[in-house]
């Protein structure tokens, strides 16, 4: 079967090929965290979502490719709005983490712009818009191959200290991997250099 990166119905291999990064996107140093079974990206091969995150080199924003499988169905033949919202929540929070802000969500708002057909690969973008003290304001969106916006979101995330996370912060390898990915000169690197 011919590999079509935007309509993946064939094999798991075709899906994985479609999730490869675009030019100008780089893999994270420790990319294992985005392959772990989580609420958002599930278990590989479960037919729900396949998610791959990257860093856009031009601005450090989070970029990604997501395949929405039959297990993410809402309206017949289309992705459930909850799957799109959960993905944007995760991505906007991850954008905070890779920018040096260990955050948790306080409020997210999602606007659904167009239906997202199942078995499609879409592009994700998420970035930190601004910060105000411990408040980290983010934005994100899901785009079709031709640039149509399926959903976009805004988020207010609260930056947490390692002490606030308590014993769970040290137990979370994903959290540490994300903190290690902070861009040079961001708050996470600056505070760790002071220690």
The predicted-structure confidence for 104-138, as pLDDT tens digits, reads as follows 999 999 999 999 999 999 999 999 999 999 999 99
**What's the whole-number average pLDDT of the chain?**
82
3-class SS of residue 94: helix
Is 183 exposed, middle or buried, given 0-12, 13-18 or 19+ CB atoms closer than 10 A? middle
Task: Give residue-wise pLDDT tens across range 18-33.
Answer: 999 999 999 987 655 5
Confidence class for position 151, pLDDT limits 50, 70, 90: very high
Question: What's the CA gap between 192 and 195, in Å, rounded?
Answer: 5
Domain boundaries, the chain: 12-194
Chain-centre distance for alpha carbon 30:
15
pLDDT at 185: 53
For the cut 90, the answer to whether the pLDDT of residue 176 exceeds it is no
pLDDT at 16: 86
Answering whether pTM is above 0.85, one says no
pLDDT at 13: 85
pLDDT at 134: 95
Q: Which residues are 7's β-sheet partners?
A: 120
For the cut 90, the answer to whether the pLDDT of residue 37 exceeds it is no
pLDDT at 84: 98
pLDDT at 163: 73
pLDDT at 90: 94
Structure tokens at 163: 């002490």
Is the Cα torsion angle 172, 157, 25, 36 positive or negative in sign? positive
pLDDT at 28: 83
Confidence class for position 195, pLDDT limits 50, 70, 90: very low
Class of domain 12-194: alpha beta
| Helix and strand numbers, DSSP H then E, in the chain | 6, 7
Nearest to 68 by CA among 6, 25, 139, 17: 6
Question: What's the CA gap between 105 and 13, in Å, rounded?
Answer: 34
For the cut 80, the answer to whether the pLDDT of residue 77 exceeds it is yes
A 10 A CB-CB count for 67 gives 25
In this structure, what are the phi and psi dihedrals at residue 60, rounded to the nearest 5 degrees? 80, 5
3-class SS of residue 189: helix
CA angle 25, 105, 48 (to 5 degrees): 60
For the cut 90, the answer to whether the pLDDT of residue 172 exceeds it is no
For the cut 70, the answer to whether the pLDDT of residue 82 exceeds it is yes
Question: What's the CA gap between 129 and 155, in Å, rounded?
Answer: 9
């Amino acid at each position: 079967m011919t590999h079509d990166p935007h309509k993946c119905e064939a094999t798991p291999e075709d899906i994985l090929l479609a999730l490869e990064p675009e030019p100008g996107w780089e893999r994270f140093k420790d990319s294992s965290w985005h392959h772990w079974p989580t609420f958002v990206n599930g278990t590989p091969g479960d037919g729900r979502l396949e998610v791959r995150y990257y860093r856009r080199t031009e601005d450090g924003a989070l970029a990604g490719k997501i395949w929405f499988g039959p297990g993410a169905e809402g309206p017949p033949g289309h992705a459930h709005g909850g799957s799109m919202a959960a993905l944007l929540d995760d991505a906007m929070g991850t954008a905070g983490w890779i920018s040096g802000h260990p955050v948790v969500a306080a409020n997210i708002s999602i606007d659904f712009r167009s239906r997202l057909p199942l078995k499609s690969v879409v592009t994700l973008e998420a970035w930190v818009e601004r910060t105000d003290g411990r408040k980290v304001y983010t934005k994100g969106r899901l785009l079709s191959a031709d640039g149509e916006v399926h959903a976009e979101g805004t988020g207010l995330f609260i930056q947490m200290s390692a002490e606030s996370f308590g014993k769970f912060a040290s137990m979370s390898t994903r959290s540490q991997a994300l903190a290690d990915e902070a861009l040079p000169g961001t708050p996470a690197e600056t505070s760790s250099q002071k220690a």
